[in-house]
Amino acid sequence: MDKQLIKSLAQVVGEQYTLADRESLACYGYDSTPELESRPGVVVLPGNQEEIGKVLALCHGAGVRVTPRGSGTNLSGGSISFDGGVILQTSRLNRIIEIDEENLTATVEPGVVTSALHREVEAKGLFYPPDPGSMNISTMGGNVAENSGGLRGLKYGVTADYVMGLKTFLADGELLKTGGKVVKDVAGYNLNQLLVSSEGTLGVFSEITVKLIPKPQCKKTMLVHFPQLEQAALTVSQIIAARIIPATLEFLDRVTIKCVEDYAHVGLPLDVDAVLLIEVDGHPAVVEEEAAGIRAICERQGCSFFQTAATADEALKLATARRVALSALARLRPTTILEDATVPRSAIAPMVKLIQETARKYDLTIGTFGHAGDGNLHPTCLTDERNRDEIERAHRAFAEIFEATIAMGGTITGEHGVGVAKKKYLPLLVGNAGLRVMRGIKGALDPNGILNPGKIF
């Protein structure tokens, strides 16, 4: 990294927020994606929104590449700089600028932690539904860049459904304002939604305005065991067919159940194929009816156990089984490959079976859990990156799983992004026309290709 550029960057953000020592560069050299590591040339932490623009203008002028980064919880290598470029770290920009109770919006800086926003708005009787698994550390900037999902996606949608306005610094440092507090806006192309899920390749957010909704009055949490996988899958279909849309409809398979029980001792049985965690929320009368409807469907499908949480504490305990799934699986082996193949929800049962068969075929341990109501599964391979033979088999297995996902009308990533980890599968999904259009857009917005280069395509 050019010493003069580092000096210029330090003049913008300050010496103490320009990190170029070995230890710092090592810390920013990886994110939550396994098998990937690469040290940046320098890390800068802007202290206000304008500094983002100044950093970009400098790098654009110098032809130096920039990777924006929040908390580094990215699961597709999106927050790693692979070319010794600049990491633009947003964590100092962590102000909740406004909660507008009249227009039901919140405006935040990109470094605000997702669950901090949850707490602030819920204290006012409002609700920001997106709740990615990493919400206690992930930032809003990262959530918007990746279009993060979460456990409440089935009823409430994902981050994209809540983004109303953005301030974004383009590659050359020019500020672009899109959307705002109006709930209807069709003036020109929908750049807001183009920027959401662009994975830091089209611009760097400096301000985000999201929609809020009234907080649901109450909720009911249910945990259900099924001896057979098909019973759980049919239950999911029949709940939707009964015109009930739960807030949460989560699934754990046998491998995951065993790991969770070993880890958290929440009383899960070891002889069932599937567990569903179901939450309904809203008006008390609706919650009662929907919970009763769900119980009837589960029993008709032959569930072996049905528990409704009697208290909020008990609800938390039931939800623990799902919330700890990843940690429970991750402790079994040194390397955890967490994927997010997503299919139309009607294809959940064949998809889980295919994952299990593929695991057997390649002699791998794959636990599957995830958002059954969304068709968004997390097949999680437990392996060891030092075992090259096993890692190779894992890659071959996931290649087959993604091909099958696409054949079922699904997608290679429901909520984790393409980054570098899924690049090779994207052409299969979007075809030549899709790639051509995406490359054209990237070229139009970032002609010098300095923004998070090498990601997506």
Q: What torsion, rounded to 10 degrees, do the Cα atoms 161, 166, 172, 173 define?
A: -150
- Does the protein bind its own copies through residue 350 (CB under 8 A)? no
- 190, 316, 334, 392: residue in contact with its own copies (rule CB under 8 A): 190
Q: Looking up tokens 């065991």, which residue turns up?
A: 225
- Does the protein bind its own copies through residue 417 (CB under 8 A)? yes
Give the x-and-dash track for 76-115 against its own copies (CB under 8 A): ------------------------xxxxx-----------
Per-residue burial over 205-215, b = 16 or more CB atoms within 10 Å of its CB, e = otherwise: bbbbbbbbeeb
- Does the protein bind its own copies through residue 399 (CB under 8 A)? no
- Does the protein bind its own copies through residue 456 (CB under 8 A)? yes
Give the x-and-dash track for 229-268 against its own copies (CB under 8 A): --------x--xx-xxx-----------------------
- Does the protein bind its own copies through residue 283 (CB under 8 A)? yes
Min dist CB 17 to its own copies, Å, is 26
Per-residue burial over 322-342, b = 16 or more CB atoms within 10 Å of its CB, e = otherwise: bbbbbebbbebeebbbbbbbb
Contact present, 322 and 377 (Cβ < 8 Å): no
- Does the protein bind its own copies through residue 120 (CB under 8 A)? no
- 3, 22, 184, 388: residue in contact with its own copies (rule CB under 8 A): 184
Structure tokens at 162: 């809540």
- Does the protein bind its own copies through residue 158 (CB under 8 A)? yes
CA angle 387, 391, 392 (to 5 degrees): 115
How many residues bind its own copies (CB under 8 A)? The answer is: 90
What's the order of all strands across the beta sheet hosting 274-282? 305-308, 218-226, 274-282, 248-253, 365-371, 376-383, 335-338
Q: Looking up tokens 């899960």, which residue turns up?
A: 268
CA distances from 217 to 177, 317, 365, 387 (A): 35, 20, 41, 50
Min dist CB 103 to its own copies, Å, is 5
- Does the protein bind its own copies through residue 454 (CB under 8 A)? no
- 63, 334, 344, 350: residue in contact with its own copies (rule CB under 8 A): 344
- Does the protein bind its own copies through residue 146 (CB under 8 A)? yes
- Does the protein bind its own copies through residue 448 (CB under 8 A)? no
Closest CA to 160 of 109, 196, 213: 196
- Does the protein bind its own copies through residue 285 (CB under 8 A)? yes
- Does the protein bind its own copies through residue 15 (CB under 8 A)? no
- Does the protein bind its own copies through residue 70 (CB under 8 A)? no
- 26, 123, 213, 292: residue in contact with its own copies (rule CB under 8 A): 213
